[in-house]
């Protein structure tokens, strides 16, 4: 019996073999802005795209709840990028400053993923509107507003925005399961979530 994380890992690896390999290889490039931009594009092609197309409902036919889909999809896809970035740090023998920049990039993953899920769910756009927010956020980097940028992670305010967006996406995506009934085909009965 496989656990839910392993199920999502297999689902992702079967559907997106080449995309995962490409993501792994491209994330080896040590440029911070490139990695953030690539993480943005990479996450947009996962659960947010399925939400926009309505394909996430297919996963609910398996014994998965929405919150499990959300968390496991985030963890599986983040782990691909983290392993690739860590391998890059080892191969390129990066110093502490470069490793700290990589950790800052990892801290942007919840913001990027949460923003894309929210926009896919409620605005039916998992790429354009988050990309505009992405451009606006990056434009803050060289100004005094960089401390509220969720992508630069220069202050506690940016981190709070990042965590807030992720938690809002998690709660709003998972909220649909509460109080809803689901027909269990194996038992021939209706079960409460």
User: Is pLDDT above 70 for 97?
Assistant: yes
- 43 within some domain: yes
For the segment 136-157, the average pLDDT, to the nearest whole number, is 83
* Residue that is written with structure tokens 């451009």 in the block: 135
User: Is pLDDT above 90 for 148?
Assistant: no
- 164 within some domain: yes
Q: Residue 86: which residues within 8 A CB-CB, separation 6 or more?
A: 102
For the segment 5-28, the average pLDDT, to the nearest whole number, is 74
User: Is pLDDT above 50 for 120?
Assistant: yes
The dihedral of CA 178, 179, 180, 186: what is its sign?
positive
pLDDT confidence band for 2 (50 / 70 / 90): low
Work out the mean pLDDT of the chain and round it to a whole number.
81
User: Is pLDDT above 70 for 5?
Assistant: yes
Q: Residue 43: which residues within 8 A CB-CB, separation 6 or more?
A: 77, 109, 112, 113, 116
- 56 within some domain: yes
DSSP alpha helices (H): ranges in 119-155?
A: 128-139
Q: Report the distance separating Cα 103 and Cα 118, nearest Å.
A: 24
Burial environment of residue 44 by CB neighbours within 10 A (0 to 12, 13 to 18, 19 or more): buried
Domain span at 108:
18-174
User: Is pLDDT above 60 for 119?
Assistant: yes
Query: How many helical (H) and strand (E) elements, i.e. helices and strands, does the chain have?
Result: 9, 2
User: Is pLDDT above 70 for 1?
Assistant: no
21's enclosing H/E stretch is helix 17-26
* Residue that is written with structure tokens 């690739």 in the block: 84
User: Is pLDDT above 70 for 177?
Assistant: no
- 181 within some domain: no
- 27 within some domain: yes
Name the nearest CA neighbour of 32 among 74, 87, 76, 85.
Answer: 85
- 32 within some domain: yes
Per-residue pLDDT at 86: 85
Q: Report the distance separating Cα 21 and Cα 119, nearest Å.
A: 27
- 4 within some domain: no
pLDDT confidence band for 193 (50 / 70 / 90): very low
Instruction: Tell me how far CA of residue 96 lies from CA of 17, 28, 101, 111, in angstroms.
Output: 32, 17, 9, 24
Q: How many domains does the chain divide into?
A: 1
- 184 within some domain: no
């Amino acid at each position: 019996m496989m656990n839910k994380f392993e199920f999502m890992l297999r689902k992702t690896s079967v559907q997106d073999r080449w995309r995962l390999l490409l993501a792994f290889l491209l994330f080896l490039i040590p440029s911070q802005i490139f990695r953030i931009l690539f993480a943005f594009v990479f996450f947009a092609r996962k659960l947010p795209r399925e939400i926009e197309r309505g394909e996430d409902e297919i996963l609910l036919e398996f014994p998965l709840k929405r919150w499990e889909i959300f968390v496991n999809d985030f963890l599986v896809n983040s782990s691909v990028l983290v392993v690739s970035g860590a391998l890059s740090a080892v191969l390129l023998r990066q110093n502490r400053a470069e490793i700290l920049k990589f950790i800052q990039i990892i801290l942007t993953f919840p913001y990027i993923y949460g923003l894309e899920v929210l926009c896919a769910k409620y605005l039916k756009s998992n790429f354009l509107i988050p990309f505009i927010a992405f451009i606006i956020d990056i434009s803050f980097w060289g100004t005094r507003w960089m401390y509220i940028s969720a992508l630069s992670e220069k202050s506690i305010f940016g981190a709070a925005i990042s965590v807030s967006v992720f938690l809002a996406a998690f709660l709003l995506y998972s909220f649909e399961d509460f109080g809803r009934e689901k027909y269990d085909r194996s038992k021939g009965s209706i079960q409460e979530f």
